[in-house]
Structure 1
Amino acid sequence: MVQETGSDAWWASKQGPEWEQDATGQYRVTFWWRDPAGSETTSAIRHVWLYITGVTDHHQQSAPQSLTRIAGTDAWFWQTVLEAGWRGSYCLIPSTQPDDFSPQVFTQLPPDRTALREGWRKLFPQAIADPLNPHGWRGGRGHPVSPLSLPGAPEQPGWDAPDTPYTPPMCIDWQSEHLGNRRRVWVFTTGDDSHADRPLAVLLDGQFWAESMPVWPALANLTHEGKLPPAVYLLIDVIDSAHRSQELPCNADFWQAVQQELLPLVRATTPFSDRADRTVVAGQSFGGLASLYAGLHWPERFGCVLSQSGSYWWPHRGAHQDGVLIETLKRDELSAQGLRIVLEAGVREPLIFRANQAMLAQLQRSQTSVIWRQVDGGHDALCWRGGLTSGLMTLWQPLTPAQ
């Protein structure tokens, strides 16, 4: 029996985006939204903007995309073709306004970057997660997002067991005299051992991994399965965007405060190893830049680096020139020898992907132990969460029993 488009029975069959594989192995993906006000005769909705990280986001410098209404129904849809390994987050933004973007966004190719970013910035407060998709969280800009992973997307170790029991982390206040500020720090331990030789992982943007996308069950699950060793995880809050932009990009004061103040403060109650080869510093975006900066400047403390979507363009956004850290390495002012590095970036974050390839080339010239991973995704925590656990497993592999 054919169900009528827009009927209750028809909508009951929708569980989020739908896809089908074509003869080339790619997937045609359809996004749906049900207008709660009904058809065009009863609804004031003019657009349903679709912001897909790495596909229709502002990084692509392409015209904004809106779903299209199926005439006479409450159904809106939009289609695209994606590779089998694609993974990303998305949100919907219904709007009653006829013009949410400046005209040059649609008449100019590529669209004016500033106008495009400004249009999206104004719309984000109206963003909603996909009502048809049961999973979601709040993204880095604070608005709701929903996940989508196609069948060939890489495994995300630990994240498929959200109900794994764990001992809740301890949250402490770190009042830094060196930095002149105060922030939250989460201290999380896994396994039953409490010896002083436990490896340590420092996770930047700690507030995200503690609250927006809690990492605790994934780490506990991988430890229970023997894929990660019993360890201490230190998640550092950024305070706010202003402090993040100041402290994470190549800031020696921040890392001196971490070593001289924070690590001794935590060690007083939670012992961990001081060996560089047992210490991982991990971060994304500015945090990815910061993690490699820490390893290069203090290799005797931070011997393992997990950098995801590192902002190696800094401080030359949009310019066709290398960032400060790449230039410093080129001048042989720093050496990466002795470090173990996992470098990861998404092919759909153009500026950062190019910068990471430049960094990779420079690291390989120094014969550093660097593992390169590129993913079919954008500047997206949905990709980073799997890379985070996979990277920890890779960097701590000698510490875990053979499987």
Structure 2
Amino acid sequence: MDVSEHGLFAQWLDRSAVAVGSEAWWQQVKSSEVPLIRAMAADRYEVLFLWQDPQGTAERSSIAAVYMDVNSVTDHHSPTPARMQRWPGTDVWFWMMQVPANWRGAYQFIPCQARQLPDWDLAQRDADRQRQWWISLQPLAVRDPLNPVRAQMSQWGIRQSALQMPQAPAQPAWVAFDLGADTLPPEVVEMSWHSELLGNRRSVWRYQTGSTCERREPLPLVLLLDGRFWAQNMPVFDALDYETRRGRLPPALYLLIDEIDNVTRASELPCNPLFWQAVQQELLPEVARAVPFTDEPAHTVVAGQSYGGLAALYAGLHWPERFGAVLSQSGSFWWPDRSLVHQVSDPIQGRLPGAGGWLTEQARLHPLSLPLKIWLEAGTREGEMISLSETMCEVLQRGVHDISFRAFEGGHDRLCWRGGLLDGLSWLLAP
């Protein structure tokens, strides 16, 4: 194998005085900041990923391939999904990529045995078959054991590693979480909400920031959708406290509403009036009996991502007299026309200028007279998703609303959303 073809890996080999794959070599790797990165230009970095085959060299290992799954970089729909290479005669697998200097995203390795590889030519472009095959690989995925940053949970229940380039927007409120600190304060109250209207029961996590003696007027209210994720998988409580202590957020009451499961989520969040009637008629009165909070729409925020981003804006547009502030991240504004998410040939860089779904058309046909304060954001590497958010922003800007739109360098990724969530709340709750 020609070393000169492998950029940063070649550089790493050149400066190593010990045999590649030896115990001493891996000790050198582990003592470095992994993944390894270097600047290619002022606005671009090269990244080297390394993975040690636990079974050893190719002669001893049953691992036939290691797929790379990097949010907003690799494309599993491709006829040539990204794969690591094995350095001959060693237990070393490696892969390289180049990304903008402000990119952030999650990634995982997927080691496969020969029997787990596709038994057909991926170039045949059987999209449904390839998707099912890729889903079948998810239980095999592993986090990067060399990456010291705390992993996050993927939608498949797999721990994913986190990576950010040096110029990615700072997320100081999340440093403690990334270092592995305990992030569940004892003051969090997990209540059980039984909804007669929806016919189900779920958890709602209630958390109040700031000292109760600091504030006399009613607390601002923030409803955070996909609450189980923000309560358990990536607990947001310490981050909220951090921003409150810094003065970027006022003391507030946060309600994290459990999505229950994917089926319920897909039914309740996409523009479902019954869900929001239940929130207003059942949940909020029940919470108010325990903790007083504002009924002013300008100080009531609904925040969500993906389906939750769609739901948050739907709530504001249909009940502006109650929900006057909206935080929508990577909103699924294609709904209900799923064909909109398959019209671009490049799911990462593809665009659909002017595209919009049902809610966009409703906003166009029925402009509100009551102004909303709206924070919209989407990733530049989300394909058609950013076009959908841009179209929604253009439609809303024709009305009376106060809107902030931001594009971040990344994909459909909670590692990006967690920073935007706090930035958006700071802007929405500012005096």
- TM-superposed CA distance for 1:98, in Å, is 5.2
Match of 2:110 in 1: 93
Q: Residue 157 of structure 1 contacts residue 222 of structure 1 at CA under 8 Å; is this kept in 2?
A: no
Alignment equivalent of 1:158, drawn from 149, 167, 173? 173
- TM-superposed CA distance for 1:25, in Å, is 3.0
Alignment equivalent of 1:172, drawn from 164, 181, 191? 191
- TM-superposed CA distance for 1:57, in Å, is 4.1
Amino acid in the other structure paired with 1:143? I
Match of 1:339 in 2: 372
- TM-superposed CA distance for 1:336, in Å, is 7.2
Alignment equivalent of 2:157, drawn from 142, 149, 156? 142
Match of 1:330 in 2: 364
Q: Say yes or no: does 1:66 pair with 2:83.
A: yes
Amino acid in the other structure paired with 2:49? F
Match of 1:50 in 2: 68
1:3-402 superposed matches below 5 A: 3-14=18-29, 15-23=33-41, 25-58=43-76, 61=78, 63-97=80-114, 100-101=117-118, 103-105=120-122, 107-108=123-124, 111-134=125-148, 135-162=150-177, 163=181, 166-193=185-212, 195=216, 197-319=218-340, 322-331=356-365, 333-335=366-368, 337-398=370-431
Q: Residue 16 of structure 1 contacts residue 133 of structure 1 at CA under 8 Å; is this kept in 2?
A: yes
Amino acid in the other structure paired with 1:181? N
Q: Residue 184 of structure 2 contacts residue 235 of structure 2 at CA under 8 Å; is this kept in 1?
A: no
CA deviation profile, 1:212-259 (whole Å, cap 9, x unmatched)? 001111011111222111110000001111110000000000001000
CA deviation profile, 1:313-348 (whole Å, cap 9, x unmatched)? 0011133652110111222x2427511111010111
Amino acid in the other structure paired with 2:422? T
CA deviation profile, 1:154-177 (whole Å, cap 9, x unmatched)? 112411234578443100110001
CA deviation profile, 1:171-208 (whole Å, cap 9, x unmatched)? 01100011111101000111112656111100000000
Rounded to whole Å, the distance in 2 between the matches of 1:140 and 1:344 is: 21
Q: Residue 296 of structure 1 contacts residue 336 of structure 1 at CA under 8 Å; is this kept in 2?
A: no
Evaluate the alpha carbon distance shift between residue 316 and residue 104 of structure 1 in structure 2; reply closer, same or farther with a 3 A threshold.
farther
Rounded to whole Å, the distance in 2 between the matches of 1:61 and 1:40 is: 26
Q: Residue 297 of structure 2 contacts residue 324 of structure 2 at CA under 8 Å; is this kept in 1?
A: yes
Q: Residue 329 of structure 1 contacts residue 362 of structure 1 at CA under 8 Å; is this kept in 2?
A: yes
Q: Residue 102 of structure 1 contacts residue 115 of structure 1 at CA under 8 Å; is this kept in 2?
A: no
Runs of 4+ in 1 over 6 A off after TM superposition: none
SS of the aligned residue for 1:16 comes to: coil
Amino acid in the other structure paired with 1:141? W
Instruction: List gaps (5 residues or longer) in structure 2.
Output: 1-15, 344-354
Tell which has more relative contact order, 1 or 2 (C-alpha 8 A, sep 6+): 1
How many residues are matched? 393
Identity of matched residues, %: 47
Match of 1:401 in 2: none
Instruction: List gaps (5 residues or longer) in structure 1.
Output: 399-403
Q: Residue 174 of structure 2 contacts residue 239 of structure 2 at CA under 8 Å; is this kept in 1?
A: yes
SS of the aligned residue for 1:228 comes to: coil
CA RMSD of aligned residues (A): 1.8
Rounded to whole Å, the distance in 2 between the matches of 1:62 and 1:370 is: 40
Evaluate the alpha carbon distance shift between residue 140 and residue 101 of structure 1 in structure 2; reply closer, same or farther with a 3 A threshold.
same
Q: Residue 228 of structure 2 contacts residue 256 of structure 2 at CA under 8 Å; is this kept in 1?
A: yes
Rounded to whole Å, the distance in 1 between the matches of 2:403 and 2:385 is: 18
SS of the aligned residue for 2:239 comes to: helix
- TM-superposed CA distance for 1:12, in Å, is 2.2
Bigger mean CA offset, 275-284 vs 6-15: 6-15
Q: Residue 42 of structure 2 contacts residue 101 of structure 2 at CA under 8 Å; is this kept in 1?
A: no
Q: Residue 283 of structure 1 contacts residue 306 of structure 1 at CA under 8 Å; is this kept in 2?
A: yes
Rounded to whole Å, the distance in 1 between the matches of 2:292 and 2:151 is: 35
Evaluate the alpha carbon distance shift between residue 166 and residue 226 of structure 1 in structure 2; reply closer, same or farther with a 3 A threshold.
farther
CA deviation profile, 1:299-323 (whole Å, cap 9, x unmatched)? 1111110000100000111336521
SS of the aligned residue for 2:49 comes to: strand
